[in-house]
Amino acid sequence: MCLDTKLVVKHGSTGVSLVVAPGILGRDQPSWLYAQAMKLSSRFRDALSYAADLHAEQQRKVSGVPYVAHLLAVTAIVLEHGGDEDETIAALLHDAVEDQGGAATRAEIARRFGPRVAEIVDGCTDADTMPKPPWRERKEAYIARLGQVSPSGRRVSAADKLHNTRSLIDEYRIRGESLWKNFRGGRDGTLWYYRTVVDTLRQIETTPLVEELDRVVSELERLVQ
């Protein structure tokens, strides 16, 4: 294809159409330029409403902002990295089983949105019982089974970890070392967890999302040294 050929590319989340010469699409271009055009259906809108209802009383651990902000951020990352509708719905619901009802919530997700969405959510869940097992035990078990998680599950999980790490950086800049009292793993445990997740994901596959997660985790490590 010659450089004069034009390609119309539509950004799925904004609806903006761009006219691009395919010859200029290189490694540094936004990842959504490569994604196949996709329109989200009423299933997504149903999932958005369901997620907002499930997490209505929940807040982010440190900032206190409504928890739905995290769900929306993870969903945006999944979309920007080529996620399909099932993955996008799972991103909205990735913490639902762990934080809002366990097995009963998983069954409802499967009923309303299908077994693939439920399976992706499983790949993001490190506990489905209350009280949860001890923190280190849960995290080690989660890391150990990452290799058995589907590529879709790993995409949503990496997006979750990416937004969490970005939030940690923002909060550390505000609170400094006092931040770590909010986390069961403390400073060392939290840093161990995110670095080990990155290293495990890189052993399985290297994607632009995993590379971005690696970059942001490295930024956090440098910041807290």
Residue type, 112: R
Q: What is the CA radius of gyration of the chain?
A: 18
Neighbour-count burial of 47, counting CB atoms closer than 10 A to its CB (0-12 exposed, 13-18 middle, 19+ buried): buried
Residue 9, pLDDT > 90, answer no
Assess whether 98 carries a catalytic annotation. yes
Query: What pTM value is reported for the model?
Result: 0.84
pLDDT band at 217 (very low <50, low <70, confident <90, very high): very high
Classify residue 59 as left (phi > 0), alpha (psi -120 to 50) or beta. beta
Assess whether 99 carries a catalytic annotation. yes
For 116-158, give the DSSP string: HHHHHHHTT-S--SSSPPPHHHHHHHHHHTGGGS-HHHHHHHH
What's the mean pLDDT in 149-174?
98
Residue 184, pLDDT > 50, answer yes
The pLDDT tens digits of the residues spanning 110-142 come to 999 999 999 999 999 998 888 889 999 999 999
- From the candidates 46, 85, 99, 219, give the one annotated as an active-site residue: 99
Counting every residue, how long is the chain?
Answer: 225
Contacts of 28 (CB under 8 A, 6+ apart): none
CB atoms within 10 A of CB 15: 8
For 16-84, give the DSSP string: -EEEE-GGG--TTS-GGGTSPP----HHHHHHHHHHHHHTTT-B-TTT--BTHHHHHHHHHHHHHTT--
For residues 131, 136, 139 and 144, what is the CA-based torsion angle, rounded to 10 degrees? -120
- From the candidates 87, 95, 98, 122, give the one annotated as an active-site residue: 98
Residue 10, pLDDT > 90, answer no
**In order of start, what are the domains of the chain with their CATH numbers?**
1-37 (no CATH), 38-224 (1.10.3210.10)
pLDDT (0 to 100) of residue 19: 36
pLDDT (0 to 100) of residue 53: 97
The pLDDT tens digits of the residues spanning 67-78 come to 999 999 999 999
